[in-house]
Structure formats: structure tokens, C-alpha cells
Structure 1
Amino acid sequence: MKIALVAEHTNPLPAHKGEPTCGESVHIAAVSRQLARLGHRVTVYARRGAANLPDRSRMGRGVNVEYLSAGPERPLAEHEQADHTGAFAAALSASVAEDTPDVLHAFGWTSGLAALSAARGDSGGAGRVPVVQTFHSLNISEQRSGLAPRPDRVRLEAAIAGRADTVVVNSADQRFELARMGVPRWRVSVVPFGVDTDQFSPEGGTTAEPWHGRRQDRTRIISVAPMSAGGADTLIETMTRLPDAELTVIAGPAPVELALDEDACRLELLAKEAGVNDRVTLTGPIERKELPRLLRSADIYVSAAPYDPYGGAVLEAMACGLPVVAKAVGSVTGAVLHGTTGLLLRHARPDTLARALRGLIGENTMRSAYGIAGADRAVSRFTWQRVAQETEQIYDRTLASQGGLPLAAGDDAH
């Protein structure tokens, strides 16, 4: 099968050495490689976001990335992204006309607009090609978590979901939101985010850095959180209620120079004023090859993110055998089993987090049980191999449905 993955604002092959780190890049890089291993030919279409990018790059056997010119050759701010989707759609249509895929799979709403245009043959493109649309996040869900409303995006997401042949989301919550928009349940499949369980596992080395105390003296709590999103502030305040614990916060995927970053400086000042700076460490982004060692050196993973559309960091912590305490938002609700692999909280206030963490700090047996169950769940449900297999099944069913019969209600990959 020839598969076109459309990811307008994502680069699965970062310019710097190493693996991609942002959620969508990780997803596309992992799934495309796994689909190629299943025998498919995959092309990823992305907007040229830098002047030094070639027209075409090989990501692995059976996987190529094509960079299409559309707008300035630099990363775009969120408010700029839709401005150049028309040009991206035209370039995509031309590319698809030259090498027509069996299926177009779009990631994100702007990519969905471009894929739908290319599928119907605009700008000289191919004839009708089935479109699969993945929403990692919906603005209506973001609003329920307190993030900014985008009425234009809500309308477009509903329209794209209504026109795509199949819609894929990361969690059952997202499918519920689409049902509220009027999208039939039989057209929406749930396929979760994945984790590389060969790289992230309970077995392997640990590290003494960047911890301040010995493990037997303090419970080690770890989190991956953007410095600017509010979650790190909450965690630092939580530490004032946990005198026998220490916290390491790893910055999110965006590059951060801690000494120069305003948010990092603000958080360091907050920790000092709260009297916990000797028990709180902020790091910049960690190379993915080093992240498993750091996760395995901790005792508990915690997330206070207001919204988490991917849940990737939570899955990586579970795969390394850590119990998880997290706010029940986004894809985290499908990853963590409350009372089995960790604790899901309705609110992520400092007092609520501290209460949950104190319960785990005092229960070594429970922590171990949660960690074992989390690692088992990561291997049984969330490997990228399984994610790719479920994605392949969606393609097969979408192509079969073009023959006339809709999918049976409730029949999805979850």
C-alpha cells in the first residue's frame, strides 16, 4: 500500500542530530517506520520550515519525507500557520498527482484541509483518494481544560471531521467530543499514542544526576513539563508540602537555555522563595537516549499539565516502571488506570497533588505494584508496533468502505 502522511507543520527529521522530541514528530516518525516494516511504502509531506531542507529525504527503508514550499522558510508561530495552508495544499495536490497514494492520512487540522483539497483533485491533483484524519487535540477539549478558545478552529475541526472518510483520535474522550459535534461514532477510531518499549523499560542503568540527596534519604519525584505552561509552578508549590521528597523537572521539547530563559529564571526564583530550591532541580531538554536512565532513577512520575494531548511522557515513565500521579486530562486518561498503574486526579492543585504523592511516598509496596502494572500495560497496549498495526487496519477498513457499506457501529481499533 502507498501511504501519504500529511504533517504540514511537523518535521519528523529534525535538523539537529538525534531523534524528534515533539509529540507529533515522534508519532509520525515512529508510525511511518513501523508501517514500512509491515511492507508499505510511506511518504511524509511536510512544509519546508528551513532553507537548508532538501526536497526529499530518506527516513528509513520504505519511508521518505518530502518538503513542500509554502510560505517563509522558517518555523511559523501558531497564529501564522493557517495563512500558508492554501499554498501547502496546492503543492501537496501537485505531488499527489505525480504519485497517487492509496490513502492520505492527515495529522492536525491544517493538514486535514490540505489533504481534503488534494484528495478531490484541486490544483491538478489526483482523483478521489480516501482521507484519514488524526486529531491529537481538539480546541473544544482544550477549552474545557482552561486553554484559549479558538472558535474558527472549532468550526474547521468539525467540518474536517465531517468530510474525512475516517477520523482517528488518541482517547475515548476525544471521540465523545466529536460525537457531540455530530460525527457518527462508527467513523471515529481510537488509536492511542505509543512508546518505544525497547528504549523505555524497567531494565537498564540509572543516574545519580541531577538528584541532590541519596535515594534512601528522599523520595525522588520527576516530571517532564514545559517551563511556561503552568504545571511546573504547581509542582514547585507542591514540594513545600513534601519535606522528605525532591523534584526534578525536565523541560519540554522546546530548546531551553536555563540561564537565559525567563520562565526558567522565574521558576528558580519561585523555588528559592518557597524554600525548596535545595530539593528542586530544573533541567533543559534531555536527549532521548539519556531519558530512560533518568526516569529509572526516580521513584514517582507526576504531571500537573493543564492539558496533555499526547500523554507520551506519561507512557515513557510507565514503561520504565514508575507509578504515575497525573491530572486526568487528554490522552492521560487512556494511559493511566486509576488505582492500578497510578492515580488520576480531577484537579492538579498543590494540596491535591501533595495528598496523592504522600500516599505513595509512604507505601513502597503500592509504588512497586503500580510500577509493575504500568510497565506491563505499556508493553501490552502502547507499543508503536501495535499502534502501526491498528493504523493499518483503519486504512484497510477505510478502503473497503469505499465499496459502499459503512463500518459497523462501535467497530474501532481500540
Structure 2
Amino acid sequence: MKIALVSEHATPLPAHKGERTDGESLHLYHLARNLARLGHRVTVHTRCTDPASGERSRMGRGVVVAPVTAGPRRPLREEEHTRHTAAFAHGLAGRLRAESPDVVHAFGWSSGLAVLAAMRDSGCDTPFVQTFHSLNVSEQRVGLPANPQRVRLEAALAHRAGAVLVNSADQRFELARLGVPRGRVCVVPFGVDVDHFTVEGAAHGPWQRRRSGAGQQLRVVSVTRLDPLGGADALIDTMARVPDGELLVVGGPDPDHLAIDPDARRLEQRAKEIGVDDRVTLVGAATRRELPRLLRSADVFVSTAAYDPYGAAVLEAMACGLPVVARAVGSVTGAMLDGTTGVLLRSARPAALARALRQLAADTTQRTAYGIAGADRAVSRFKWPRVAAETARIYERLLAGAPALPLAAGHHA
């Protein structure tokens, strides 16, 4: 198949270069490469953000990244994207007319709008697949800004697409509430690079434990944003109830900029107020190369985010063999098996978190069992080649005129 992947606001190139990037860009990178390994020809159409060059570039055998010039050649703020969607659609129409892909797959609602406009203007009449990593109705439930127009557009796109791909059963439920037929929505999970995030390998690097030997502390790690939605506040409060634990919080700006970051300063002040600043370390952003070693240096991974549409950090921790304690939100509920790969909690209340951590601190056997089960689940269910194969099967069914079969593509295995 000739496959066109379209994302107005994400690009796979940083991931290809080993740089830090966002979840959607990681998805584009791994999906494109693994579809190509299945024998398909993939073109990734993304908005040009490079002031020096807008040339097409190869990203491995069978994958081409084709930037579309639309607006300024720089990364845009979220609120800027829709100003340039029409220009992006115009440029994309010429590409579709010239390349005649077998299937067009859009990532995000603004990309979906661009694809529909480009297909209309180019006369392209191929199956259209829409991926939503996040929906505004879900975001509103955790206090993010409401965007009624976006809600209507997301529902309209879901009705127009031949298949809608979402990361979690929660998103499928939200689309059903918007009137989208369940038979059109497929749950295909976010994946994890199990060749990079592994149980085996170095574990410490610069993050040495504060104590070692018989008095070793339980090391807890969390990879999250530092604003209140990330849940780091609750984690710091929890450490007051886990006297034999230390906490590493990974995320936010580069380590050199932590001192001037308002969220980092707020968290450091909170740790001092409750007397746990000697057991809490804000690491800052970690590179993709550093992250597996950092994860393997810990005993437990904790996720307390109020909203997690990807579940990427939990999957990466599981792949590294860590037991997970997590708030049951978004894609996390599909990634984990409560009581098998870790502990799912209904809320991020410090009392409940502390209870789960103290139990794991006292039971090395249980921690080991959770870690083994989590690594096995990450490798068997969430590796990117399987995600790509499931996605390709949906394309093939659409080309054959058959329903997308969401339960067959869902992550219930």
C-alpha cells in the first residue's frame, strides 16, 4: 500500500534524530517505520518548521517525510495552528493529487480538517482514517479549557472517517456519547519501543541512590509534567507518609532551567514545607537515551497525572521491568492490569498512594512479580510492530470495503 500519514502539528524527525519530542511525533515515527517494514510505502506529510530547508527527506527504507509550507517556518503555539490549516490543506491537496495514496491517515482534529479539504480539492477518493489521541470532551473533565467548536468538529470528523483510531476504551466511550457509531471506532493502543526500553542494561548513571545496603530507601520515579495536572504535588505530599522512600520527578524543562521554572520552584517549596526536600529530586527533562537507565535505577514507577491520553511513561516503565502504581485515567487503564502489573488507584490521594508504596516497599517478591508481568505485557501487547500491524489491517479492511472491526483491533488481548 501507498500510505499518507498527515499531521499538521507534529513531525517524526526529532524522534528519528534521537531528540526529545512529544507523544504524537513518537507515534508518527514508529508507525511509519514499522509500516514500511511490513512492505508498505509511507509518506509523512507535516507542516514545515525548518527555516533553512523544506526539502523531502528519507527516514529509512520506505519512509519519506514531506514538509508542507504553511505559515511561518517555526514551531507554532497550539492556538496558532488553525490559522494555517487552510494553507496546509492547499499544499497537501497538490501532494495527494500527484501521489495518489491508497489510504490517508490524519492525526489530530486540525489535520483531519486539512485532509478532508485536500481530498475534496484534489479529487482524491481513497479511504480516510482519523486518529484522536485526545478529545476536548475528555480534556474538559479534568479542567482543561472547553472548546465547543472543536467538540463539534471532532464529532463531524469521526462521522466522516472510514475508521477512527483511539488509544483507549475511554476515548471510544466518549465518541459514542457524541453519537459516533461504535463500529467505526477502533482501539489501537499507543506503543513502546521495546528495543530501547528494556529490563537489561545499566541502571544508575548520575542518579546514585542516597543510601545503599541494608538501609536502602525505596526509590520511586515518576515521568510527568510539573504543572498541577501532572500530579507531582500529590507525589511530594505522599513522601511525608513514606519515610523510607526517595522520589525522582522527571519532566519539565532542561535541568539547567529548573531554577527559573515556576512549577519547579513551587514543587521545591512544597517539599521544604513538609520536610521531604532531602528525599525529593527534580531531575528535569531526560533525553531518550538517558531515560531507560533512569527508570531501571528505581524500585517503583508512579503515575498520578490527572489526564494521560498516551500512557507512554507507564508503558516505558513496564518495559523496563518496574512495578507501577498509577491513577486510573485515560490510556493507563488499558496499559496496566490491576493486581498483575501493579496497582491502579481511583484517585491520587496521598494516603492511598502511600499505602500502596509502603506495601510494595515491604514486599520485594510482589514488586518483582509485578515487574516481570509488566515487562512481558509491554513486549507481547504494546510493541510498535504489533501496533503497526493492527493499523495496517484496518487499512486493508477499508480498502476491501469491510467494517473496521474495532474489537479485533482493540487492546483487550
TM-score range, shorter chain: over 0.9
**Corresponding letter in the other structure for 2:366:** M
Measured after TM superposition, the shift of residue 98 of structure 1 is 1.2
Of 2-11 and 48-57, deviating more is 48-57
**Corresponding letter in the other structure for 1:130:** P
Match of 1:132 among 126, 129, 134: 129
Instruction: Flag the 1:375–1:2 CA change in 2: closer, same or farther, 3 A.
Output: same
Instruction: Flag the 1:160–1:252 CA change in 2: closer, same or farther, 3 A.
Output: farther
Measured after TM superposition, the shift of residue 412 of structure 1 is 3.6
* Paired position in structure 1 for 2:276: 276
CA offsets 1:223-258 (integer angstroms, 9 cap, x no match): 101122441122111111111000001115889721
Structure 2: distance between partners of 1:372 and 1:53: 46
1:339 partner SS: coil
* Paired position in structure 2 for 1:301: 301
**Corresponding letter in the other structure for 1:137:** S
Does the 8 Å CA contact 1:195/1:316 hold for their aligned counterparts?
yes
1:137 partner SS: coil
1:259 partner SS: helix
Structure 1: distance between partners of 2:276 and 2:66: 48
Does the 8 Å CA contact 1:248/1:283 hold for their aligned counterparts?
yes
Instruction: Flag the 1:37–1:280 CA change in 2: closer, same or farther, 3 A.
Output: same
Does the 8 Å CA contact 1:170/1:191 hold for their aligned counterparts?
yes
CA offsets 1:168-219 (integer angstroms, 9 cap, x no match): 0111111111111111111111110111111111111111532441354100
Structure 2: distance between partners of 1:254 and 1:137: 26
Of 207-216 and 92-101, deviating more is 207-216
Structure 2: distance between partners of 1:197 and 1:15: 15
Counterparts of residues 35-74 of structure 1 (less than 5 Å)? 35-74=35-74
TM-score normalised over the length of structure 1: 0.94
1:301 partner SS: strand
Counterparts of residues 56-205 of structure 1 (less than 5 Å)? 56-120=56-120, 122=121, 125-205=122-202
Measured after TM superposition, the shift of residue 411 of structure 1 is 4.7
Does the 8 Å CA contact 2:54/2:69 hold for their aligned counterparts?
no
CA offsets 1:264-300 (integer angstroms, 9 cap, x no match): 2222222222211111111121111221111111000
**Corresponding letter in the other structure for 1:260:** I
* Paired position in structure 1 for 2:266: 266
Counterparts of residues 331-342 of structure 1 (less than 5 Å)? 331-342=331-342
Structure 2: distance between partners of 1:179 and 1:337: 24
Structure 2: distance between partners of 1:246 and 1:409: 42
Measured after TM superposition, the shift of residue 408 of structure 1 is 5.7
Instruction: Flag the 1:142–1:218 CA change in 2: closer, same or farther, 3 A.
Output: same
Does the 8 Å CA contact 2:35/2:42 hold for their aligned counterparts?
yes
1:207 partner SS: coil
CA offsets 1:42-65 (integer angstroms, 9 cap, x no match): 111111123124321111111111
* Paired position in structure 2 for 1:286: 286
Measured after TM superposition, the shift of residue 354 of structure 1 is 1.4
Of 354-363 and 182-191, deviating more is 354-363
Instruction: Flag the 1:15–1:368 CA change in 2: closer, same or farther, 3 A.
Output: closer
**Corresponding letter in the other structure for 2:324:** V
Structure 1: distance between partners of 2:221 and 2:405: 43
Measured after TM superposition, the shift of residue 409 of structure 1 is 7.6
* Paired position in structure 1 for 2:226: 227
Structure 2: distance between partners of 1:380 and 1:389: 13
Measured after TM superposition, the shift of residue 14 of structure 1 is 2.3
Instruction: Give the RMSD, CA atoms, in angstroms.
Output: 1.9
Of 315-324 and 197-206, deviating more is 197-206
* Paired position in structure 1 for 2:33: 33
* Paired position in structure 1 for 2:207: 210
Instruction: Flag the 1:409–1:353 CA change in 2: closer, same or farther, 3 A.
Output: closer
2:353 partner SS: helix
Counterparts of residues 357-372 of structure 1 (less than 5 Å)? 357-372=357-372
Structure 2: distance between partners of 1:305 and 1:235: 10
Structure 2: distance between partners of 1:163 and 1:290: 42
Structure 1: distance between partners of 2:79 and 2:33: 31
CA offsets 1:311-334 (integer angstroms, 9 cap, x no match): 111000000110111111111010
Whose helix proportion is higher, 1 or 2? Answer: 2
Instruction: Flag the 1:15–1:203 CA change in 2: closer, same or farther, 3 A.
Output: closer
How many residues are paired up?
408
TM-score normalised over the length of structure 2: 0.94
Does the 8 Å CA contact 1:239/1:246 hold for their aligned counterparts?
yes
Structure 2: distance between partners of 1:14 and 1:37: 20
**Corresponding letter in the other structure for 1:72:** P
Counterparts of residues 368-379 of structure 1 (less than 5 Å)? 368-379=368-379
Instruction: Flag the 1:84–1:29 CA change in 2: closer, same or farther, 3 A.
Output: same
After TM superposition, where is structure 1 displaced by more than 6 Å over at least 4 residues in a row? 253-256
2:259 partner SS: coil
Does the 8 Å CA contact 1:226/1:253 hold for their aligned counterparts?
no
